[in-house]
Amino acid sequence: MPKLIKQDTICSDDWLAADAASDQVAQHHFPTLPQWRAATGRTLRTVQLQPGDVVAELADALDTLDIIAVDFPVLTDGRGFSYARDLRERGYRGELRATGHFMPDQVHYLRRCGFDAFQPADDSRIEEYLRQSRVFSEQYQASVDQPLPLFRRREAQAG
Amino acid sequence: MYIYDQYDQRIVDERVAQFRDQTRRYLAGELSDAEFLPLRLQNGLYVQRLAPMLRIAVPYGLLSSAQVRKLAHITRHYDKGYAHVSTRQNIQLNWPVLEEVPDILAELASVQMHAIQTSGNCIRNTTTDQFAGVAADEREDPRPWCEIIRQWSTLHPEFAFLPRKFKIAVCASEQDRAAIHAHDIGVELLPNAAGELGFKVLVGGGLGRTPVIGSVVCEWLEKRHLLTYLEAILRVYNQHGRRDNKYKARIKILVKAMGVEAFRDAVEAEWAQLRDGPSTLTEDEVARAKSFFTSPPYADIDGKDAGEALAARAAADPIFGNWLTRNTHPHRVPGYRAVTISLKATGIAPGDITDRQLDLLADLADSYSFGELRTTHQQNMVLADVEETALYSLWQRLQKAGLATANIGYLTDLICCPGGDYCSLANAKSIPVAEAIQARFEDLDYLYDLGPLELNISGCMNACGHHHIGHIGILGVDKKGAEFYQVSLGGSQSKDAAIGKILGPSFSQDAIPDVVENLLATFVSLRQGDETFLQTYNRVGIEPFKERVYAKAD
């Protein structure tokens, strides 16, 4: 079973990447957005987004989803960072899982954008992903895990 | 200037530790080249033709004398004794060793400096007017806003893997000295109808292979919304900018493709989600940022007396007079001037400065200018607060160090990228072209007679030398493996921003000084009264220049 990080611990589960070539959702595979859309009555409780998918399509189905996976086909395609923040700002509370070809040194930023599960395509370095997840103890911007920007926290401290 | 508190220092220190670990893992084979690439770029480290190049951030061009001394030490200890001022007001080292870069970053952190996001597909160093805070035509000091943008953009989690690099410039004066029309985002502090200052926001300007002048995306924005609005623009760009072709990945291409109205609608839709959220600026935060940029303790000087004494001095020593006219800029406080130190002496690569010169400038800053120095996007340095009575002795000390070339704003004060001598992206060398032009036009009287003239040289389409906005632009091109140079005319970086027009077929390197001489001779023969090169060009067009330059030699 593929390894992943959840709640700062290494674990494994049986979810596999979506199979876009198929009309059917194979067992243990995340459905793609088109497969999710085609399923009737919002019976599918997971979906995997690809860069280019329109996040807003999920807007009024967020509480029917347990896992939204956001795929990173290459480590330099940063669209998924914005997708994650968008989903969290729209009120999504379920698991937000980064999948694919991101690298350990991106986990810190991914976490700040709202991801809480990390499933790299190559799980042989999974400890490194965990080790790199909290390399900074301070940050300037507002983010999902720290909704107040530093300037507001500085003020709170001073006031 | 801005002083780090415990939070700023911790962020920079943790960044140094992170990069030390990344370098170690790369050298140990635990990070691949493809993985290390964006990581080192976001710490300013390029792999160049001969060695890595490290670009050190100089936020909006401001340096303390202690920082300049540290830079002198670093160039001496880790490099070959000279540094280079870039067109983004940053400082570049050409010969660092990868293994030592973490130590260099640690040295920088000890004086509140870093190399964060000086390269890579992320938000780069925010630039502004080199005369910020002292210019007579300023509406408000832009530096507090630059610092607010710096903090917001530093290690922003959402925007570290953009389609392409992203550059922001801020202007707060009548005359635009920050080239805001040529930036991904240009911000101008402007009053609205009620007289309240806010931001006009331009988007999608840029140079490179598709030069574009920025479009207005917001006519006037209340100050407190600055960060949420910038965030909305970046969010639209991050999600919709092209990623399939790096030459079409800048925001200017997205704005063109969508049309500015549709782009604005998309920004407004994102902004609706962010507006009035926690990133909305507070009065306290703006006051805190402003508190770092207060006036130094200026002496109370009778400006008229000082001016007359200075005029007498200039009349008695015309060489000083030349320097005074060309290399000093009016100051908002009577009895003071801003001094530009030319890094454009003939025979030295434009923007280069030695460790000893850096040490000297740090001393001069302490003696003459409240301990501060600035870098300019024209690749010079500035002492912004010099008493007029001290100018003569300052000039004498600069002259001894080869730093008093009286050419600011004239032909030989040219902008030039490192080019093919250093840069692996370049199609052609640029420094020898700059030197050949400087050597040909050494006669200062002739230069002054030509009037203000901007000549910009880039070694490739990436346009680091800003050739598109030079009155005369020179671009290195590759023609079947040989280095050639394309010439353009009529570019401008000020409020009348314009992209230069290509003159015609390109030239060999040897021919360039003759080409420039022909262009200048054409200008001189057609010039009316005191017209500048650009004014004459705008009146007569490109044809007379073309005819003369491409005339058959029969």
- Do residues B412 and B447 touch, judged by C-beta distance below 8 A? yes
The domain tally of chain B equals 2
Same domain, B420 and B283: no
Res B324 pLDDT > 70: yes
SS (H, E, C) B297-342: CCCCCCHHHHHHHHHHHHHHCHHHHHHHHHHEEECCCCCEEEEEEC
Residue B221's CATH number? 3.30.413.10
Instruction: Output B444 or B115, whichever has higher pLDDT.
Output: B115
Out of B259, B290, B321, a domain closes at B290
Q: Which of residues 193-252 of B touch A (CB under 8 A)?
A: 227, 235, 238-239, 243
Interchain contact, B239 vs A77, CB within 8 Å: no
Chain B residue numbers with beta carbons less than 8 Å from the beta carbon of A110 are: 157
Out of B244, B271, B290, a domain closes at B290
Banded model confidence at residue B363, pLDDT cuts 50, 70, 90: very high
Mean pLDDT of chain A: 92
Mean pLDDT of chain B: 94
Q: How many residue pairs bridge chain A and chain B with CB atoms within 8 Å of each other?
A: 113
pLDDT for the residue numbered B50? 63
What is the sign of the dihedral through the CA atoms of B415, B421, B427 and B428?
A: positive
Q: Provide mean pLDDT across the span B48-64.
A: 88
pLDDT for the residue numbered A2? 87
- Chain A within 8 Å of B282 (Cβ-Cβ)? yes
Q: For residue range B490-525, what is the model confidence (pLDDT) as tens digits?
A: 999 877 788 899 999 999 999 999 999 999 999 999
How many other β-carbons are positioned within 10 Å of the β-carbon of residue B449?
Answer: 12
Chain A residue numbers with beta carbons less than 8 Å from the beta carbon of B21 are: 135
Res B554 pLDDT > 60: no
- Do residues A47 and A55 touch, judged by C-beta distance below 8 A? no
Describe the crossing of helices B226-240 and B143-153 by its angle, rounded to 10 degrees: 40
Res B48 pLDDT > 80: no
pLDDT for the residue numbered B135? 94
Out of A132-141, B304-313, B417-426, least confident range = B417-426
Banded model confidence at residue B260, pLDDT cuts 50, 70, 90: very high
Interchain contact, B155 vs A113, CB within 8 Å: no
Question: Quick check: helix, strand or coil at residue A37?
Answer: helix
Out of B271, B290, B309, a domain closes at B290
Banded model confidence at residue A22, pLDDT cuts 50, 70, 90: confident
Task: Match domain A3-158 to its CATH number in 1.10.1610, 2.60.40, 2.30.30, 3.40.50.
Answer: 3.40.50
Residues 6 or more apart whose CB falls under 8 angstroms from that of A3 comprise A10, A11, A12, A119, A123, A126
Task: Specify the DSSP class assigned to residue A24.
Answer: S
- Do residues B198 and B190 touch, judged by C-beta distance below 8 A? yes
CA dist B63 and B128 (Å) reads 14
Q: For residue range B206-228, what is the model confidence (pLDDT) as tens digits?
A: 887 778 899 999 999 999 999 99
Sheet holding B381-387, edge to edge: B62-64, B372-375, B381-387, B336-341, B328-330
Query: Does B468 fall in a domain?
Result: yes
- Tokens (6 digits) for B171: 């202007």
What is the sign of the dihedral through the CA atoms of B4, B8, B9 and B13?
A: negative
Task: Specify the DSSP class assigned to residue A17.
Answer: -
CA–CA distance from B20 to each of A4, B16, B50, B156 (Å)?
Answer: 26, 6, 23, 20
Query: Does B329 fall in a domain?
Result: no
- Do residues A17 and A30 touch, judged by C-beta distance below 8 A? yes
Interchain contact, A154 vs B162, CB within 8 Å: no
Q: Taking the domains of chain A in order of start, what are their residue ranges?
A: 3-158
Interface test with B, best of A76, A108, A153, A157 (most B CBs within 10 A): A76
CA dist B377 and B473 (Å) reads 16
Return the beta strands (E) in A13-104 as ranges: 46-49, 67-72, 95-100
Q: Strand B372-375 and strand B381-387: pairing?
A: antiparallel
Q: Provide mean pLDDT across the span B177-182.
A: 90
Banded model confidence at residue B47, pLDDT cuts 50, 70, 90: confident
Query: Does B284 fall in a domain?
Result: yes
CA dist B70 and B62 (Å) reads 14
Q: Find, in chain A, the residue whose alpha carbon is nearest to that of B35.
A: A103
Interchain contact, A151 vs B7, CB within 8 Å: no
- Chain B within 8 Å of A145 (Cβ-Cβ)? no
Q: For residue range B9-27, what is the model confidence (pLDDT) as tens digits?
A: 999 999 999 999 999 999 9
- Tokens (6 digits) for B402: 């080869």
Same domain, B284 and B420: no
Interchain contact, B11 vs A138, CB within 8 Å: yes
Chain A residue numbers with beta carbons less than 8 Å from the beta carbon of B284 are: 151, 155
pLDDT for the residue numbered B210? 77
Res B156 pLDDT > 80: yes
pLDDT for the residue numbered B52? 82
- ipTM for this prediction: 0.96
Instruction: Output B64 or A39, whichever has higher pLDDT.
Output: B64
Interchain contact, A148 vs B5, CB within 8 Å: no
Domain that holds residue B470: 415-549
- Chain B within 8 Å of A10 (Cβ-Cβ)? no
In the block, which residue shows the tokens 């033709």? B49
- Chain B within 8 Å of A97 (Cβ-Cβ)? no
Nearest CA-CA distance, residue B143 and chain A, Å: 17
Res B553 pLDDT > 60: no
- Do residues B374 and B130 touch, judged by C-beta distance below 8 A? yes
Q: Which of residues 14-43 of A touch B (CB under 8 A)?
A: none
What percent of chain B has pLDDT above 70?
99
Q: Provide mean pLDDT across the span A126-142.
A: 95
Q: Find, in chain B, the residue whose alpha carbon is nearest to that of A159.
A: B284
Query: Does B378 fall in a domain?
Result: no
